[in-house]
Amino acid sequence: MINFNIAPFIGTELNYIKQAVDNKKICGDGEFTKRCDAWMEQRFGAKKILLTTSGSTALDMAALLCGLKPGDEVILPSFTFSSTANSFVLAGAKLVFVDIRPDTMNIDETKIEAAITDRTKVICAMHYAGVACEMDTIMDIARRHNLLVVEDAAQGVMSTYKGRALGTIGDIGCYSFHETKNYSMGEGGAIVLNREEDIEKAEILREKGTNRAKFFRGQVDKYTWVDFGDSFLPSELNAAYLWAQLEVADEINNDRLATWNAYYKAFAPLAAAGKIELPTIPDTCVHNAHMFYLKCKDLDERTRFIAHMRERGVACVFHYVPLHSAPAGKKFGRFAGEDRYTTSESDRLVRLPMYYHLTAEDRQTVIDAVLAFYA
Ligand SMILES: *Cc1c(COP(=O)(O)O)cnc(C)c1O
How much of the chain, in percent, has pLDDT values that exceed 70? 100
Comparing CA positions, the residue from 255, 220, 367, 300 lying closest to residue 207 is 220
pLDDT digits (tens, 9 = 90+) for 74-121: 999 999 999 999 999 999 999 999 999 999 999 999 999 999 999 999
pLDDT at residue 42 in the model: 98
The CATH label, of 1.10.10.10, 3.40.50.300, 3.90.1150.10, 3.40.640.10, for the domain at 13-246 is 3.40.640.10
pLDDT at residue 159 in the model: 98
Q: How far is CA 114 from CA 97, 125, 167, 335, in A?
A: 11, 16, 25, 12
Contact 128 CB / ligand 1 (< 6 Å): no
Q: What spacing in Å lies between the alpha carbon of 38 and ligand 1's midpoint?
A: 22
- pLDDT confidence tier of residue 366, bands split at 50, 70 and 90: very high
Tell me what the mean pLDDT of segment 137-161 comes to: 98
Count Cβ neighbours within 10 Å for each residue of 188-198 and write b for 16 or more, e otherwise. Answer: bbbbbbbeeeb
Contact 182 CB / ligand 1 (< 6 Å): no
Q: What is the mean pLDDT of the chain?
A: 97
pLDDT digits (tens, 9 = 90+) for 253-283: 999 999 999 999 999 999 999 999 999 999 9
Tell me what the mean pLDDT of segment 168-180 comes to: 98
How much of the chain, in percent, has pLDDT values that exceed 90? 97
- pLDDT confidence tier of residue 138, bands split at 50, 70 and 90: very high
Tell me the domain boundaries of the chain: 13-246, 249-374
pLDDT digits (tens, 9 = 90+) for 183-238: 999 999 999 999 999 999 999 999 999 999 899 889 998 889 999 999 999 999 99
Q: How far apart are CA 184 and CA 186, in angstroms?
A: 6
pLDDT at residue 130 in the model: 98
Surface-to-core class of residue 175, CB atoms within 10 Å of its CB (0-12 exposed, 13-18 middle, 19+ buried): buried
pLDDT at residue 124 in the model: 98
- Atom number of ligand 1 nearest to Cα 177: 7
Q: What spacing in Å lies between the alpha carbon of 236 and ligand 1's midpoint?
A: 21
In this structure, which residue's CA is closest to atom 6 in ligand 1? 55
Task: Quote the CATH superfamily of domain 249-374.
Answer: Aspartate Aminotransferase, domain 1 (3.90.1150.10)
pLDDT digits (tens, 9 = 90+) for 288-329: 999 999 999 999 999 999 999 999 999 999 999 999 999 999
